[in-house]
Amino acid sequence: MNTATQTFELKNNRQGTGLGPGFLASRTAWDWLFAALVIGGAAWAFVRYDAAMDIYEKWILVGAAPVLIWLGWFWRPMSRLMAVVAALSLLAIWLYLPPEGGAAVLARADTVFLLKYFISSQSAILWMSMLFFMSTAFYWVGMFSRDGSTFETLGSRLAWVAVTLALVGTMVRWFESHQIGPDIGHIPVSNLYEVFVLFCWMTAAFYLYYEDQYKTRAMGAFVMLVVSAAVGFLLWYTVVREAHQIQPLVPALKSWWMKLHVPANFIGYGTFAISAMLAFAYLIKQSASETRWYKLAPLFILGVVLCFEPIVFRQGATEKGGSYWFIYFGISALIVGGILAVRGRIAARLPSFEVLDDVMYKAIAVGFAFFTIATVLGAFWAAEAWGGYWSWDPKETWALIVWLNYAAWLHMRLMKGLRGTVAAWWALVGLAVTTFAFLGVNMFLSGLHSYGEL
């Protein structure tokens, strides 16, 4: 990057994080209104649900308010996102509550127009799925269109709407779970269906932040591929396993630690996915002039694995839904093959190697920080649930492998100046390791985390 770009980014970073002078003085009327709304909402929730919360949940609520305010001030689009999500979620809850109350609450999802077609949890999540697919398509059309920026802008806007509806679906699902029974209600991060929704919106939100900071939308075509892959898994899981049905928590998950451990983990997973897809873009850009097929074969194979990652470890095609996954695999192979076939044109649209490398590094750094926090929180949770901080359970062992992999990557980056091709391949392979830790362990290895089986 040239000096002007670096100066621009440094100025933006100082303004956004409050490192510059007069941080409070630079707050707008909207910033202060947003802060007041967050504090007011937290106070209302504290008064309204005080009896339903234990001491830990109360402290989480108290701590959430300043964190949300900081997020909204750090990056102003986030404050607008939170305001819209809160408004739509409250609208859905209001529509759910009939005058007669009781069992009629959830039945209104089939009779009230807005709930049935837009903002019940399942409707919102289905809209999220469609919009993420559309966003991915527009980003890719932008890659080959003469007026690419118009289509990329549409892709970005659709991604924002998808993130909004994913969060609305999550908030409304949380409310719906509490209407089923007093012991059923829980934060929706407890099973594969719920955490894949979490992965989709969190990955997209982090990408949109980097897109805004670096003033380029060309990275979206690659990042949204992995989000669409996750959506594909989510839809299959919904149809075949009816996973959208809200289920009671298993005993091991009835802990306030889940509210902290799982989101922190998925910040790691999401940012690691971003880094891998940008590494893929880096290698595509680098291979633009490569004509030897055997040099491109490893990139094709690993690219298909990345697009196909949610079920790379499925045990054969004889299981229910096998034909779906054959089609899915074929589409993945065609996508990656098509990318390699027109890599020259794609390379011309992608940002510079320096930008791709820098975003890849920052994504891994953020992911590693939160994955470390999640691992520590998981140890505390394990001590409470099973009586020991670490038991070398397969899930714990593979979490350690993931942590060591990215710790080594960051060490080589910071101490040895790791850049370029090796760093990109390492980040790409790192996502395969992470995917096995997340899904493969649950499929093949039994242990204390067996409640997470697919």
The mean pLDDT values, 10 residues at a time, for the chain of 454 residues are 43 46 80 96 89 82 93 95 96 84 75 93 96 96 88 97 98 91 84 93 97 95 93 86 84 83 94 95 84 62 57 44 63 77 88 96 97 93 81 87 97 93 92 85 62 52
pLDDT reported for residue 402: 96
Ordered DSSP codes for 137-188 = HHHHHHHHSTTHHHHHHHHHHHHHHHHHHHHHHHHHHHHHHHHH-TTT---S
pLDDT of residue 341: 80
For residue 303, give its domain range.
250-454
Q: What is the pLDDT of residue 181?
A: 77
Let me know if residue 312 belongs to a domain: yes
By the 10 Å C-beta count (0-12 exposed, 13-18 middle, 19+ buried), 22 is classed as exposed
Q: From CA 3, how far away is CA 1, in angstroms rounded?
A: 7
pLDDT score of 13 = 46
Q: What pLDDT is attached to residue 325?
A: 61
Within a 10 A sphere around the Cβ of 234, how many other Cβ atoms?
26
- Round to whole Å and give the CA distance between 339 and 345: 9
Nearest to 403 by CA among 451, 428, 447, 371: 371
pLDDT value at residue 1: 44
73: in domain: no
d(C-alpha 163, C-alpha 159), whole Å:
6
The verdict on residue 91 lying in a domain is no
pLDDT of 105 reads 83
Q: pTM of the predicted model, to two decimals? A: 0.89
The number of folded domains in the chain is 1
Tokens 């964190």 belong to residue: 67
> What number of H helices and E strands is found in the chain?
18, 0
Per the domain annotation, does 268 fall within a domain? yes
Structure confidence at residue 432 (pLDDT): 86
The two structure tokens encoding residue 15: 């303004």
Per-residue confidence (pLDDT) for residue 328, from 0 to 100 = 66
Domain contains 140:
no
In a domain, 262, yes or no: yes
Q: Quote the CA–CA distance of 118 and 2 in Å, as a whole number.
A: 46
Residue 113 falls inside a structural domain:
no
127 Cβ neighbours under 8 A, 6+ residues apart? 118, 162, 165
The pLDDT assigned to 26 comes to 83
Number of other CB atoms surrounding residue 282 within 10 Å: 25
Q: Is 411 a member of any domain?
A: yes
| Res 115: pLDDT | 94
